[in-house]
Amino acid sequence: MADSIITEEMQAVVGIESEPWTLEVSNTSARMFARSVGYTDPLFYDEAFAKSKGYRGIPAAPHYLGTPVFDPRNSDPTFGARRGSGPRLKHNFKRVLNGGTDIEYFDTICAGDVLTATNKIAELQERQGSLGVMLITITETTYRRDGQVVAISRGTGINY
Amino acid sequence: MVATDQKQLTYEDVEIGQQLELKITPSTQQLVQWAAGSGDFYQIHYDTEFAKSTGLQGIIVHGALKHAFLGRMLHEWIRYDGRVKRWGVSYRGMDLPGQEMTCRGVVTGKRQEGGENLVDLDVWTENPQGQKTTPGTATVSLPSRG
């Protein structure tokens, strides 16, 4: 594959687990998330109501896996994620699109939870698309609370 | 507003082929709210000139927001005692703010596994032309009437 955009150096990064980073779920962040998805269910806004329905607190609405602790010294200014926590994938593409999301839950996440996440590049692919040659990166992120896995997400990134 | 006194859905209530639907017209305001709620401030979702400079026609809806919309459709169906176990989608087509998006689901299977009552679905979003812009699958767990 002489013309492959995926170099040996890039392939060597696949599977390497990152350093952990911390994500917080607060009443305020859980409400802001639910509001942005258009939920009207008091479950996602009213702590007493959530407890009356058997939840430990306001639950994180589906897709919300906490907010990475932002620190301008090491957070990405656009996406908020921690930078440099794992080996960098070097490529020359300037543009990025989100190709897909898959989330699996093993427990309910509620406001007050502090999560620890690590990620790794699970797979690299290259594809021809309407925007030209694209680099497809599947990143798998594991979220833990007190050492127990509460969720795993798989994201597909498209660079072009 | 969702009714909080709506009857809890149970495993026994669900039939294969059953359909779900949630219509949403995301505004640019909602995209900005999503940027704050999710922490994703990528400019293609609120800055038209920036979006065009990357080869897009204009501002597009965040893919992850469409995943979250489908999660909301599932939650509003399974209610307080149900749980979304897994759902995954591909962002195949771009959706635009101000256009109606229809979130849909259809039950494809039911199984009892590891003490859980699981329901499998195909889920997707549709644009006004009826194209599936965000196809995927989901699994939810439900209480049993016992």
A64 falls within a domain: yes
In this prediction the ipTM stands at 0.96
B67 falls within a domain: yes
Q: Tell me the pLDDT band of B146, cut-offs 50, 70 and 90.
A: confident
User: Using the beta-carbon criterion (under 8 Å), do B88 and A99 form an inter-chain contact?
Assistant: no
A3 falls within a domain: no
Each residue's pLDDT tens digit, B85-128: 999 999 999 999 999 999 999 999 999 999 999 999 999 999 99
Number of separate domains in chain B:
1
Name which of A28, A55, A70, A101 to mutate to probe chain B: the one with the most chain B Cβ atoms within 10 A of its Cβ: A101
Residue A24 C-alpha, separation from nearest chain B C-alpha, in angstroms:
12
CATH label of the domain that carries residue A141: 3.10.129.10
B17 falls within a domain: yes
A38 neighbourhood in chain B, CB within 8 Å: 24, 30, 69, 72
Q: Residue with structure tokens 């689901």?
A: B105
Average pLDDT of the residues of chain A? 92
- In this model, does residue B38 exceed pLDDT 90? yes
Please, which residues bridge with residue B119 across strands? B110, B140
Q: Which amino acid is at A61?
A: A
B104 falls within a domain: yes
pLDDT at res. A2: 47
User: Using the beta-carbon criterion (under 8 Å), do B38 and A42 form an inter-chain contact?
Assistant: no
B40 neighbourhood in chain A, CB within 8 Å: 78-80
User: Using the beta-carbon criterion (under 8 Å), do B71 and A37 form an inter-chain contact?
Assistant: yes
Domain hosting B29: range is 11-142
Domain hosting A137: range is 8-159
Q: Tell me the pLDDT band of B48, cut-offs 50, 70 and 90.
A: very high
CA B135 to the chain's CA centroid: 10
B2 falls within a domain: no
Three-class secondary structure assignment of chain B: CCCCCCCCCCHHHCCCCCEEEEEECCCHHHHHHHHHHHCCCCHHHCCHHHHHHCCCCCCCCCHHHHHHHHHHHHHHHHCCCCEEEEEEEECCCCCCCCCCEEEEEEEEEEEEECCEEEEEEEEEEECCCCCECCCEEEEEEECCCC
Each residue's pLDDT tens digit, A65-120: 999 999 999 899 998 888 766 667 888 888 888 899 999 999 999 999 999 999 99
B63 neighbourhood in chain A, CB within 8 Å: 97-101
- Closest chain A residue to B56, measured at CA: A131
Using DSSP bridges, classify how beta strands A148-159 and A132-145 pair: parallel, antiparallel or unpaired: antiparallel
- Closest chain A residue to B92, measured at CA: A99
A108 falls within a domain: yes
A2 falls within a domain: no
Shortest CA distance to B142 belongs to which of B30, B14, B3? B14
Q: Which of A30-34, A126-130, B60-64, B100-104 has the lowest mean pLDDT?
A: A126-130
CATH label of the domain that carries residue B45: 3.10.129.10
- In this model, does residue B80 exceed pLDDT 50? yes
Q: Is B29 on the interface with A (CB under 8 A)?
A: no
User: Using the beta-carbon criterion (under 8 Å), do A95 and B63 form an inter-chain contact?
Assistant: no
pLDDT at res. A1: 46
Number of separate domains in chain A:
1
Q: Tell me the pLDDT band of A160, cut-offs 50, 70 and 90.
A: confident
Average pLDDT over residues A10-18: 92
Residue B56 C-alpha, separation from nearest chain A C-alpha, in angstroms:
10
Q: Is A67 on the interface with B (CB under 8 A)?
A: yes
